[in-house]
A and B are shown apart, each in its own frame.
Chain A
Amino acid sequence: MSTLEPLERMAEPWDAGSSGSMHALAPEVPSPIVPSGSIAGRALTAVIAILTFLAALTTGAMMMVVGSASDWQSDVSREVTIQVRPVSGRDIDADVRAAIDIAQGTAGIAQVRAFTKQESAQLIEPWLGSGLVLSDLPIPRMIVVKLLSGARPDFAAMGKTLAAKVPSATLDDHRGWIARMRAMAETAVAIGAAILALVLAVTVLSVTFATRGAMATNQAIVEVLHYVGATDSFIAKQFQRHFLLLGLKGGAIGGGAAIALFGLIEAINVWLLGTPGGDEAAALFGSFSVGIPGYIAILVLIVLMAVATALTSRRTVNQTLDRIERE
């Protein structure tokens, strides 16, 4: 049917003189079908920004815990200790030298250093006080053996050689400490992962519900588009694109704020390095840096928020259309 063709030839049925400039008031750029600046949209952006920020903080904290646990473990496992006890009838200095030779002769050793008598005194100073005359006390001597990175020296052979040549020496490969450290690190990582999983689940669920709330104000648009003959995929695409952008915007604000905060903490940490307080904090909490993987994880989080928002809007649109079709 060519409905308008006869109409175009007819005089206007409405008031004569109602025509003006044909195109004077028609907008040049069509408005988006889904309104971009609605109150519900702004509220959703704020919700996504806040939730992304909190989830990013949890992710960053989790990355720091994993990094610190790994640092503690590797610090302990990168060195072993030889203890040479004073035994009557034996020259402790000669025993220390012999133990150093045995350690240096073992493959995979980077550095061997015996604590001086002065350093040994400093080690026990907290318990026995200062001003000690070490020659009056049977103080064992410590030898710190640092390992080459990635090397796995044969500690069993080294221990046997020490037992044979320096009976007063014992080798401590920190195995017990490493086991404890590993258990502690694994526990910390597991707790962190569980908290992160909960936070992520809550975040995604909250974003989903907030998106459904924002979509509720757009039901009329879905219905009208359906009535004017839009296909389901066209309608879903309009909302998915709109909500993907909202999600990205909110995620970028929240994630960006978290990245800025971690960057600031890292900068302050570097600035405080070398000060007593900074060193204490670094010893306890590690480098205070989430590192490149942490920043990548936050970027992934931003994308996850946007995708969750877009998919929820698509699902809500499809549910609305199904409801209309079922009637």
Chain B
Amino acid sequence: MIRFENVGLRYGLGPEILRDLSFSIDRHSFQFLTGPSGAGKTSLLRMMFLLLRPTRGLITMFDRDTATIDKDRRAALRRRIGIVFQDFRLLDHLTTYENVSLPLRVLGKDEASYRHEVVELLHWVGLGERMGALPPVLSGGEKQRAAIARAVIARPQLLLADEPTGNVDPNLGQRLLRLFIELYKSGTSVVIATHDIALMDEYDARRLVLHEGRLHVYD
């Protein structure tokens, strides 16, 4: 699904923060991406989401070399990936329902065609009673679940989550993890970036560990 070969990344003229990354994310797989704060987890996720270009190496995504594709093709590839940002990135003027349905709306789909699906997903993530609420009045956990629902509503093949439990208590963190596991079981490949050891101990999965710019894979 995604393949990194000798990928390196540097910001501007600074030192290379990620070096010689070679790994792949397979279809229907679940993995944690971990490492200390500042190790480059978010940068790696952004490269996987085509928001950052590597300074060297090759990234292949859905059998395409990402260095040679144009903007429209990048947008099309991005639509096959869902992402949950650490800071949620919900739009404050849209209701929970509208935020979650945004990926379908931007595809030009008629609201009636996806209404049932969005409502059902919102119930599934426990936001059935908060559909009309605006993000500023949602709790941290509710925002997180709304962001996850938005990331999966268009049925992406890969879900990337950046510190999804970073702003919630351990109990809610475990519940969110269960949500990701259910998504994985339904066929979505999942990459969760986290430095929460306790969370990773909850579920036996592949670990991608970033340390001093290099990636160590523990299958």
- Size category of the A interface is 35 or more
**Stretch from B115-123, B194-202, B206-214 forming part of the interface with A:** B115-123
Q: How many residues of B contact A (CB 8 A)?
A: 63
Q: Least Cβ distance of A7 to chain B in Å?
A: 5
* A residues less than 8 Å from B178 (CB atoms): 13
* A residues less than 8 Å from B120 (CB atoms): 4, 8, 22
Contact check, A12 vs B95: say whether CB atoms are below 8 A apart: no
Contact check, A1 vs B130: say whether CB atoms are below 8 A apart: no
* A residues less than 8 Å from B102 (CB atoms): 33, 224-225, 228
Q: A6, A13, A22: which contacts B119 (Cβ < 8 A)?
A: A22
Count of A-B contacts judged by CB separation below 8 Å: 142
Q: A1, A14, A220, A224: which contacts B124 (Cβ < 8 A)?
A: A14
A31 within 8 A of B: yes
Q: A14, A223, A234: which contacts B126 (Cβ < 8 A)?
A: A14
Q: Least Cβ distance of A252 to chain B in Å?
A: 25
Contact check, B132 vs A26: say whether CB atoms are below 8 A apart: yes
Contact check, B89 vs A227: say whether CB atoms are below 8 A apart: yes
Secondary structure class of chain A's binding surface, majority of residues: loop
B191 within 8 A of A: no
If A14-B175, A19-B128 are given as contacts, then 5 extra A-B residue pairs at C-beta distance below 8 Å, sorted by A number, are: A1-B188, A6-B186, A18-B126, A26-B115, A227-B89
Give 24 pairs: A residue, B residue, CB < 8 Å, sorted on A: A3-B183, A4-B120, A4-B155, A4-B186, A6-B186, A13-B125, A13-B178, A14-B126, A14-B175, A18-B129, A22-B120, A22-B123, A25-B133, A26-B115, A33-B105, A223-B89, A224-B91, A225-B102, A227-B49, A227-B89, A229-B107, A231-B106, A234-B108, A324-B51
Q: Which residues of B contact A (CB under 8 A)?
A: 49, 51-53, 71-72, 74-76, 78-79, 83, 85, 89-91, 93-95, 97-98, 101-103, 105-108, 111, 115-121, 123-133, 145, 150, 152, 154-157, 175, 178-179, 182-183, 185-188
